[in-house]
Structure 1
């Protein structure tokens, strides 16, 4: 008996797989996901995908939202899909349909290369933006976008948050509520003090 299986991946914990799930239409027998897992990690090393690999069988169809969900780079994507195809699994990519041997693998190789190039371009633009911000900050005291620092702006004065928590013997969540910040921010402030 064949199964319809979906796989989703988002890079950060504050992102949701809901958009991918909605685009794929649902009705799956099994769903696997990796939330907060970087695209720079090999597919087989991602916990959700590794679990999927232990459960997927010949005759199953794997549905994914985009080519880049299947691997770290073009080579990883191609080897992942090839291994699935050799196992007798149909790989269906949203908007492309099923990927088969021969022409399907060729199309996949091109798309994987495009995704790889785009990932490199994004990194280059990000690195250039950081360099411009550092240079502007060093010469003018503000980044090229007018900010006073390179990092995220402080939600509250860290020393004040830590001192209040200590003075009141407050928990992390109580401190977060008092200052209107997230528990993660309170933890970060406490760790830095």
Structure 2
């Protein structure tokens, strides 16, 4: 039986390129498993379902090795689990050397293992580089005075009066929060911030 696996890093990424590639191999939608989440670990519902379904002699298509994940050790472990423990063949569509159906002799296995190790390393390195570039970009933006997150909501007009009444034990936390039109936790956080400044 032939299966396909797709992973996109977030809900706003488009999976069309991977779907087209798998449909091109004749894989029906019913045998394509897709997760929309990060590749940093293998705690993915559709991937787990796929792992329960595949058995010895099946073939799994993925578009590229980083669809399995971006962690070097985990990619290696999943490759071993699929090919050695479950006896499943894997075909990485954008890297023809990573097709376990071919070159089952010692030299073919050696070359495939070598390519897998190199590509797994490259995938993890790229992930780390992306994270580093993001951190550098955020630091540079902060240095230019760019503010991140939502702008602070101004305190309601009655906040100071309500705050005094609450501190004077004339009203409960719940009453004070309701009077200011905010949840209790938000009111308390605003009080802490206000008292720190004051």
TM-score w.r.t. the length of structure 1 is 0.67
Counterpart of 2:2?
4
Counterpart of 2:139?
131
Counterpart of 1:146?
none
Counterpart of 1:63?
61
Contact 1:99 1:105 in 2 (8 A): no
Counterpart of 2:95?
96
**Equivalent-residue separation in structure 1 for 2:110 and 2:12 (angstroms):** 38
Q: CA RMSD in A?
A: 2.5
Count of aligned pairs between the two proteins: 145
Offset of residue 71 of structure 1: 2.4
Counterpart of 2:123?
115
Contact 1:74 1:112 in 2 (8 A): yes
Offset of residue 72 of structure 1: 4.0
SS of alignment partner, residue 40 of structure 2 = coil
- Note the alpha carbon deviations across 1:131-186, whole angstroms, 9 max, x for none: 1111211xxxxx3xxxxx3247x8xxx89xxxxxxxxxxxxxxxxxxxxxxxxxxx
- Note the alpha carbon deviations across 1:49-78, whole angstroms, 9 max, x for none: 000000001111100011111124011001
- Note the alpha carbon deviations across 1:106-146, whole angstroms, 9 max, x for none: 11110010111111111100000001111211xxxxx3xxx
**Equivalent-residue separation in structure 2 for 1:124 and 1:53 (angstroms):** 33
SS of alignment partner, residue 5 of structure 1 = strand
SS of alignment partner, residue 10 of structure 2 = coil
SS of alignment partner, residue 99 of structure 1 = coil
Offset of residue 26 of structure 1: 4.7
Offset of residue 16 of structure 1: 2.6
Ranges in structure 2 where 5+ consecutive residues have no aligned partner: 101-108, 155-185, 188-198
**Equivalent-residue separation in structure 2 for 1:77 and 1:71 (angstroms):** 6
Ranges in structure 1 where 5+ consecutive residues have no aligned partner: 138-142, 144-148, 160-191
**Equivalent-residue separation in structure 2 for 1:57 and 1:69 (angstroms):** 20
Counterpart of 1:150?
148
- Note the alpha carbon deviations across 1:74-121, whole angstroms, 9 max, x for none: 110011011111121111001223433332121111001011111111
**Equivalent-residue separation in structure 1 for 2:118 and 2:10 (angstroms):** 27
Counterpart of 2:20?
22
Offset of residue 23 of structure 1: 2.4
